[in-house]
Amino acid sequence: MSYVLTLVRETGILAEDLAFCRRNLCVEKEEWLSKGTAVDFFLDQQISQKHFNEIKLFNKTDVFYQPVKDRQKKALFIDMDATLLNGETLDQVAKHMGVQDKVTAITEQAMRGEIDFISAFKRRISLLRGASSNLFDQVYKETPLQSGAVELVRTLKENGVYIVLISGGLKYFTEKAAVQLELDEHYGNDLVLEGGFFTGDVIDPILNGPVKEKILRDISQKRNLQSSECLAVGDGANDRYMLKAAGCGMGFYPKDRLLPSCDQVIFHNDLKAVLYAQGYRLTCGQVVGQ
């Protein structure tokens, strides 16, 4: 069996979709990862483009198609805002300070390519001058973990996977997430605090897309990992570098500019879909190793 097609639909995979796969694909083996919601079809030959295009249109279903070899990765590199966390921490700080509209306007300029990430980041950060460390603490408490994040981290750690959080946001928040979830490493931008208040400055170098890629490559080399053994997950254009550098780059509700860099995408399910894509099973409400 050379290939595996995985269907994930949290509200239940439709009977007609299962029938389509069984009828049109050369299925050698079928295995449920979570009864009713996630299933693997193992195949000896590739799916035709026609059939694959039809499968991708299955209603509210995430579809993963890949070689069986190196399916389960040894390292996960994951973005923070709108990926591991269900929210944008900088936007939340700006909202508390009454400057959200200004911060959002700069973000939109960067998304249109009118200004580069580093310039946009510094301009947004400068608007947060005077924010207290207590406010940052409050924002983190108000920003929930993404649904499925706990299961994702717990399962991968139980199976010996090295987990690295890499964010173009603030290290102040990546540290809190890393401690809460017991991640192996974390990276973010260092802000300058004086007397418990943010000065509006950050410490260079700014952690942008190319730096995310460098971190992934450096850690992979240090841990003697091939790119095929690495998984990167993110949602924004700034993640495209690390997604392209990983053996599998997965978009989690990805922005349009990230889509061309994604090997796999999640559009309908929570972070447990990252586990199902790698062949982990759900038993008695808990995801377990294959």
Annotated active-site positions, please? 79, 81
The Cα–Cα gap between 248 and 132 comes to 39
Dist. CA 84–CA 77, nearest whole Å = 11
CA gap 41, 1 in Å, rounded: 10
The single residue listed with the structure tokens 């979709």 is 17
User: In which residue are the tokens 């254009």 written?
Assistant: 237
Nearest-angstrom CA–CA distance, 39 and 235? 25
DSSP 206: P
Tell me phi and psi for residue 190, to 5 degrees.
-80, 125
SS3 at position 247: coil
Contact yes or no for 67/44 (Cβ under 8 A): no
Contact 162, 222 (CB under 8 A): no
